[in-house]
Structure 1
Amino acid sequence: FGNVSSPPNYWDMELGTKVPGNREMCANLLKLTQYFNCIHFAGGYPVEPVDIHASVRHLDVVYDKLTLTDKAMHAYSLGKERVEDVMEMVRIAGGLSNEEFEATPRIYTNINSTSPLKHDHPMIDGCLRMVRRGQAVVVTPFTLAGAMAPVTMAGAVAQSIAEALCAIALFQYVNPGCACAIGTFTSNVDMKSGAPAFGTPEYMRATQMTGQMARFYGLPLRSSGVCAANVPDGQAMWETSNSLWAAVQSGTNMVYHAAGWLEGGLIASPEKFIMDCEVLQQIQRYLDPGLSATGTDDIALDAIKSVGNEGHFFGIQHTQDRYATAFYQPFLSDWKNYEGWEAAGSVWTPDRAHTMFKNIIANFEAPAIDEAIREELADFVARRKSEGGAPTDF
């Protein structure tokens, strides 16, 4: 599971409206990425820091990612300079020689096709630079049924598979055996407005169909935890839960945007991030094989006999030995009954998440990093900024 990636806007309970992202907002979402163990990798920028010019944005954000988190690292595949800079920064952060960096994947990138039936040059160029140095690539067509792909799910998935495989075949030709995964981002549009819809039954089925095809081709699968809702409300959570369960049921290996996504990817929200992490941890608990263990102590016939048909299980030794770890304990959900909830002061879930967000940021401790490495990273960023970073047309 990875954090939300690339929304241009940010929303939280304090602001109450969406605003363009900035570096502080991006850094705070990176801190949440580090804090929650259910988040395994740091995807793209959790919100675009548009206060940093696009030519040097990757330098500042990757520096923040490498110093605020120790999660698996991502590079945007947007041409030569950004990919080369990020690979070098990851090499520096790992204290690796070029040979050690290239010996195994240390970083990954993800590209989207320009549906229908097209890849663009900067993304393919960036991927080719990655695979030549032994790094991992994920190819994820962005096919919206009824708009950029056929209105039928079989047609949309077929087009998506074709768009992904042609790029993967190219990368395998350049570096046979290079690390590639296939992605799915096939959903439908609202045929009344043309707006993208996510977490729909069609989205779920397309993800599962792509999972079957990924297994057929022997490729790892990437999918997403997405929704179309504009705020962290009930719609946001049921759509995201639909997306996440489709990922689980499809055999997905890598779930993008698993926490923090709103408004079809236009908004990143810390409250939504924390609410999603509660769902992710419950999914992870559900997938724990120990939950359905069937040993003698698990079937508990002796405990059932000891209680009989007139007692209860709260106080018996079998329960006392296990109660602390028997069940999933939520960090955000409130399980009090209505009267207890009212007596304690009722607080809506997004408000509880906002309070938790503020506490996490106030008490955040970054992972340890060697000061010599930090200085080398800072020097690299300063040098590349002085050289102009990546060229832009503005």
Structure 2
Amino acid sequence: MSIQSKPGRSRAGGRAARRSLRAARDFRMLPGLTRNIPICEVMDGEGVEKIDAASMDILETVGVQFRDPIALEDWRKAGAKVEDEMVYLDRGLVRDLIATIPADFTYSARNPENNLRLGGPHAMFVPMTGAPYIRDLDNIRRNPTLEDLANFHKLSHMLPAMHSTAHHIVEPYDHPISHRHLRITYSSMKHSDKTFMGMTTSPKNAEDVMEMCAILFGESFMEQHPVTTGNCNGNSPLVWDETMLGAMRAFCRRNQPVLCSPFVLGGANTPASVPATVAQLNAEALSALAYTQVIRRGCPAIYGHYLSTVSMKSGAPMAGTPEISLMNFMIGQMARHYGVPWRTSNTLGGAKTFDAQAGYESATTLSAVMHAGANYIWHSAGWNEAGMHCSMAKFVVDAEQCAMAYKMAQGVTWDDFDAATAAIRDVGPGGHYLGHAHTQENFQTAFFMPELFDNNAIEQWAAEGSVEITERALAVARGLLADYQEPVLDVAKNEELLEFVARREREIPAADALNQDH
């Protein structure tokens, strides 16, 4: 369950044993997680109804601003009350629309063995995206390049607990902003055969992504099969803009799911209250989820959000706070109340380096996310400095943490219970189990043994150079990249994709940055 396929490791053997384990690594993706542990629900039925009622009242009386003439006309035709850019949504209309969102669906990957079911107990881990800086293989913070992005896509392909390559894990600064969506999408498609995310940085960029997906999968196939994921962020409080709504239409018209994600900075763009924040966020998410069904009834959609609380001392976003955990629990309850899959953010950190703060923040959020019952678990590897950089070291450690969480969330396994209890009778009082046949058969899988954590005696740790986790993780990342083997992409499709990218780069002025990204 760790990075290698055979995670068992004794204290004997040192470097030679680790070299042997490295040779034995299995890079196959873990199947999509089917959760088999209880969900933490912090609200009773009355609390859920209270949030629902408050959200519906916001939609009916406060309204949501849709800064997009096409969306406004769509809402008029759907029967909503529209005044200028304000849309007032009747709760009956909202409930009717969101009832047509599939409760679960299956992502089709380039490699069918990597298909993933999402919704209900079915979940997936997705790396972080959007970092303007990288902490690289030398732990230096700098501007990223397309090669850096490709390396993250390669790592995502090789790390078993990562179920997706996401999209722009880091920004490729060596390419014009207006062309990046093309290169980013091609990198996701080329360097991995897992599912991936599609850029939604403008309506036209989203359409380009859809065209590239049609080349890779076929237009008719996309009509019946989700193959990628878009993210549409709301402008809290209660605003959806033309860029996001246009991108949403591009995806939904092709039957591709989008994350409907209010961008919450608790206390800054929401009330300084956990339940009131959730009520506002819920109203924002519902308004976008309902609009996906105005665009195309029955298309898949995901209840999304980005959660952070704001320090009242500095105004800076914070990660790993108790309120974020509580809101994740509450949002999970609301999404299940409406019967739709939901997205959350995972191993977030505000630390500037991969230090103890980063670990504590990430572990706190990861634990809450697993017990909240999230489905699309985004930002699961690499996020630090409030998303300003993606750390190579943290990326591989986070992925191993997700593998640990994966095993925990599968619940208790009883398959060998009788054989294991029989060993108790065989060994008896005062004995040990190390040489018992049951131990020999099961030691590699019975207990998760992290590769990136050091559990040796301090003497052995010192003898091996007193290497701390950042250095260990960077060594593992280098080893993974050295071992990477590209999954073969059909030659004709590859050529067609490259031709499309080249044509669009000729058509889009490289200086047209402001109109193509934000």
TM-score grouping bracket, smaller chain normalisation? over 0.9
State how far apart, in whole Å, the 1-side matches of 2:494 and 2:342 are: 34
Residues 1:87 and 2:207 are matched in the alignment = no
| Residue number among 174, 177, 194 corresponding to 1:71 in the alignment | 194
Instruction: Indicate the residue corresponding to 2:395 in structure 1.
Output: 273
Aligned length: 389
Distance in 1 separating the partners of 2:442 and 2:198: 44
Structure 1 residues 366 and 13: alpha-carbon distance in aligned structure 2, compared to 1, 3 A threshold: closer
One-letter code of the match for 1:149? T
Q: Distance in 1 between matches of 2:250 and 2:213?
A: 15
What letter is aligned with 1:12? D
Q: What SS does the corresponding residue of 1:119 show, helix, strand or coil?
A: strand
After superposition, the C-alpha distances for 1:206-235 in whole angstroms (9 at most, x for unaligned) are 111100111111111100121111111111
TM-score normalised according to structure 1 size: 0.95
TM-score (norm 2): 0.72
* Mapped pair 1:249 → 2:359: no
SS in 1 for 2:343: strand
Alignment partner of 1:161 is 2:285:
no
Residues 322-359 of structure 1, C-alpha deviations (whole Å, 9 max, x = no match)? 22322213221122111221122210000011111122
SS in 2 for 1:309: coil
Give the aligned residue type for 2:175. I
Give the match for residue 201 of structure 1: 322
Out of 396, 419, 439, the residue aligned to residue 319 of structure 1 is: 439
Structure 2: gaps spanning 5 or more residues: 1-124
Query: Which secondary structure does the structure 2 equivalent of 1:125 belong to?
Result: helix
> Could you tell me how far apart the structure 1 residues matched to 2:454 and 2:506 are?
51
Match of 2:339 in 1: 218
Give me the whole-angstrom Cα distance separating, in 1, the residues matched to 2:307 and 2:444.
Answer: 42
| Match 2:467 to one of 341, 347, 360 | 347
After TM superposition, where is structure 1 displaced by more than 6 Å over at least 4 residues in a row?
Answer: none
User: Hey, what's the Cα distance between the residues in 1 that align with 2:220 and 2:400?
Assistant: 40
2:368 is aligned with what amino acid? A
2:231 and 2:508 map into 1 onto residues whose CA distance is: 25
CA RMSD between the two structures? 1.7
CA distance in 2, matches of 1:187, 1:64: 30
Conserved? CA contact 1:26–1:47, under 8 Å: yes
Q: 2:265·2:310 contact (CA, 8 Å) conserved in 1?
A: yes
Q: Is the 8 A contact 1:83 1:129 kept in 2?
A: yes
Q: Which amino acid aligns with 2:160?
A: N
Deviation at 1:306, TM superposition (A): 2.2
SS in 2 for 1:231: coil
> 5 Å matches for 1:376-387?
376-387=496-507
Which residue number in structure 2 is paired with residue 138 of structure 1? 259
| Residue 360 of structure 2: aligned partner | 238
Say yes or no: does 1:8 pair with 2:132. yes
Percent of aligned pairs sharing the same letter: 36
Answer yes or no: is the 8 Å Cα contact 1:13–1:351 preserved in 2.
no
Q: Which residue of 1 aligns with 2:49?
A: none
Looking at structure 2, the residues matched to 24 and 54 of structure 1 have their Cα atoms a distance apart, in angstroms, of 16
Is 1:365 the counterpart of 2:485 in the alignment? yes
SS at match of 1:369: coil
Distance 1:197 1:90, change over 3 A: same
**Equivalent AA in structure 2 for residue 253 of structure 1:** N
Cα distance in 1 between the residues matched to 2:307 and 2:506: 41
Per-residue CA deviation, residues 124-168 of structure 1 (Å, 9 max, x unaligned), is: 111112111111111111111111101111111111111111011
Range that drifts further, 384-393 or 365-374: 384-393
1:170 pairs, out of 285, 291, 313, with 291
Paired residue secondary structure (2:172): coil
Partner of 1:303: 423
Query: Helix, strand or coil: the match of 1:169?
Result: helix
C-alpha spacing 1:233/1:243, structure 2 compared with 1 (3 Å): same
Whether the aligned pair in 2 keeps the contact of 1:184 and 1:207 (CA below 8 Å) is: no
What SS class does the counterpart of residue 178 from structure 2 fall into? coil
Is the Cα–Cα contact under 8 Å of residues 13 and 350 in structure 1 kept in the other structure?
Answer: no
- Give the Cα separation in 1 of the matches to 2:299 and 2:493: 29
Shift of 1:389: 6.4
Match of 2:457 in 1: 337
Question: What's the counterpart of residue 152 of structure 1?
Answer: 273
Name the SS for the 2:167 alignment partner: coil
Amino acid across the alignment from 2:447:
F
Instruction: Please name the residue that 2:94 is paired with.
Output: none
Q: Distance in 2 between matches of 1:389 and 1:122?
A: 19
Matches of residues 32-111 of structure 1 in structure 2 within 5 Å?
32-94=155-217, 96=218, 98-111=219-232
Structure 2: distance between partners of 1:292 and 1:344: 38
